[in-house]
């Protein structure tokens, strides 16, 4: 059986044909339009077309389509209730896509999908409780507690990107100040890198991007830090300290058996997570307990969301 997963991100729409065990057979990718929901639905169906074509199959081979989408998602109604990054309000994404694809479509919050993917086939496999966060355009979170996805009564739970790590801090797209994602998302890291580059013309970061500031990505400061650039090291440390602050608070609330970190920035691997783990180890309130949360990288990497989305019907 083949399943189709779509990961709707702030930058790209990615689609993949996935087997029941989580193996990806073919992929498609289209830039996310910022011109409204119809354009986004069209981009999604184009990414699906590419994934099917690259797999060498047809839509008739696909059992179902699952979407992982950011924001507050009502999976029963198939609606994106609210997504601050693209200013979506009550968008019936499931019916829009069903009309285009002629297939049954289901939807879940993107980070919930990533958490399910990691729980089924990655870092959370066999655990009793797991929290997963994703560091991308925003910061997402999902919790699988005693084998069940915890969503809150209205599906808006675990919006970890929007809990505050700095009172009155940076302005978030949601309107609050100091939200975790204004410090720990890829977007935040890129923005901060650019800010500091502009006042430090001699930094090695400029060399990493060949003098073109628009080429800064989440991995850029990590690359410059690895080459010994002091500014980049400070940037990475600042980023890690906010990340550790948010993770420690989440661990203090949930004390999950496994806490896994995925999304684009997690591509930096242990270079990112090692120092974060050291801070969390020191600050976790359960530091004296014999049993401690395992803080680890998402095993499915950036594919956790797309795999979880594809396999959504199997979790229902």
Q: Smallest distance, Å, CB 307 to ligand BGC?
A: 16
Q: Smallest distance, Å, CB 162 to ligand BGC?
A: 6
Q: Smallest distance, Å, CB 251 to ligand BGC?
A: 19
Is residue 111 close enough to count as binding ligand BGC by CB under 6 A?
yes
- Tell me which residue of 183, 176, 191, 187 sits closest to 136, measured CA to CA: 187
Q: Which of the ranges 123-131, 134-142, 203-211, 237-245 carries the binding residues for ligand BGC, by CB under 6 A?
A: 134-142
Q: Which of the ranges 87-95, 131-139, 240-248, 307-315 carries the binding residues for ligand BGC, by CB under 6 A?
A: 131-139
Q: Which of the ranges 137-145, 190-198, 236-244, 282-290 carries the binding residues for ligand BGC, by CB under 6 A?
A: 137-145
Q: Which is nearer to ligand BGC, 117 or 138 (CB)?
A: 138
Q: Which is nearer to ligand BGC, 62 or 155 (CB)?
A: 155
How is the beta sheet containing 79-83 ordered, strand by strand?
72-74, 79-83, 88-91
Q: C-alpha distances in angstroms, 8 versus 69, 113, 155?
A: 5, 11, 18
DSSP 40-107: HHHHHHHHHHHHHHHHT--GGGEEEEEEEESSEEETTTTEEEEETTTTEEEE-HHHHHHHHH-S-EEE
Of the residues 22, 122, 124, 161, which one makes contact with ligand BGC according to CB under 6 A: 161
Cβ contacts of 214 within 8 Å, gap of 6 or more: none
- CB of 45 within 8 A of CB of 35? no
Is residue 113 close enough to count as binding ligand BGC by CB under 6 A?
no
Question: Bridge partners of 129?
Answer: 145
Q: Smallest distance, Å, CB 265 to ligand BGC?
A: 12
Task: Measure the CA dihedral 187/193/197/199, to 10°.
Answer: 100
Is residue 5 close enough to count as binding ligand BGC by CB under 6 A?
no
Decide: helix, strand or coil at residue 281.
helix
To 5 degrees, how large is the angle CA 225–CA 229–CA 232? 55
Which positions from 48 to 77 touch ligand BGC by CB under 6 A, shown as an x/- string? ----------------------xx------
Question: Which token pair is 287?
Answer: 């530091």
Is residue 284 close enough to count as binding ligand BGC by CB under 6 A?
no
Is residue 203 close enough to count as binding ligand BGC by CB under 6 A?
no
Which positions from 226 to 265 touch ligand BGC by CB under 6 A, shown as an x/- string? ----------------------------------------
Of the residues 74, 181, 229, 303, which one makes contact with ligand BGC according to CB under 6 A: 181
Q: Smallest distance, Å, CB 86 to ligand BGC?
A: 10
Number of neighbouring beta carbons within 10 Å of residue 90: 11
Q: What is the CA radius of gyration of the chain?
A: 19
Decide: helix, strand or coil at residue 61.
helix
Using Cβ positions, the residue closest to ligand BGC within the complex turns out to be 138
Centroid of chain to Cα 286: 27
Q: Smallest distance, Å, CB 194 to ligand BGC?
A: 20
Residues contributing to the site for ligand BGC (CB under 6 A): 70-71, 85, 109-111, 134, 136-140, 159, 161-162, 181
């Amino acid at each position: 059986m083949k399943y189709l997963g779509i990961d709707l991100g702030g930058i790209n729409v990615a689609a993949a044909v996935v087997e029941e065990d989580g193996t990806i057979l073919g992929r498609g990718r289209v830039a996310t339009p910022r011109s409204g929901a119809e354009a986004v639905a069209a981009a999604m169906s184009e990414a699906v077309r590419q994934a099917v074509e690259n797999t060498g199959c047809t839509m008739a081979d696909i059992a179902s389509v699952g979407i992982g989408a950011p924001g507050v998602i009502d999976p029963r109604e198939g609606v994106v209730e609210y997504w601050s990054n693209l200013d979506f309000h009550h968008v019936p994404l499931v019916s829009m896509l069903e009309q285009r694809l002629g297939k049954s479509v289901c939807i879940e919050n993107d980070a919930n999908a990533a958490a399910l993917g990691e729980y089924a086939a990655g870092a959370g496999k066999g655990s009793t409780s797991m929290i997963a966060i994703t560091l991308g355009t925003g910061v997402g979170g999902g919790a699988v507690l005693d084998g069940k996805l915890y969503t809150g009564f209205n599906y808006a739970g675990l919006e970890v990107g929007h809990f505050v790590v700095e009172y009155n801090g940076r302005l978030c797209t949601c309107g609050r100040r100091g939200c975790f994602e204004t410090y720990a998302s890829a977007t935040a890291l890129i923005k901060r890198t650019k800010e500091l580059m502009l006042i430090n013309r001699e930094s090695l970061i400029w060399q990493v991007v060949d003098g073109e500031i628009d080429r800064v990505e989440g991995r850029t400061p990590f690359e410059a830090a690895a080459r010994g650039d002091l500014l980049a090291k400070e940037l990475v440390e600042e980023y890690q300290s906010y990340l550790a602050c948010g993770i420690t608070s989440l661990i203090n609330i949930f004390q999950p058996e496994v806490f896994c970190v995925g999304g684009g920035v997690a591509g930096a691997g242990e270079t990112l997570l090692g120092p974060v783990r050291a801070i969390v180890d020191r600050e976790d309130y359960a530091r004296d307990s014999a049993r401690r949360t395992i803080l680890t990288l998402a095993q499915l990497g950036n594919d956790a969301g797309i795999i979880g989305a594809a396999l959504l019907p199997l979790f229902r």
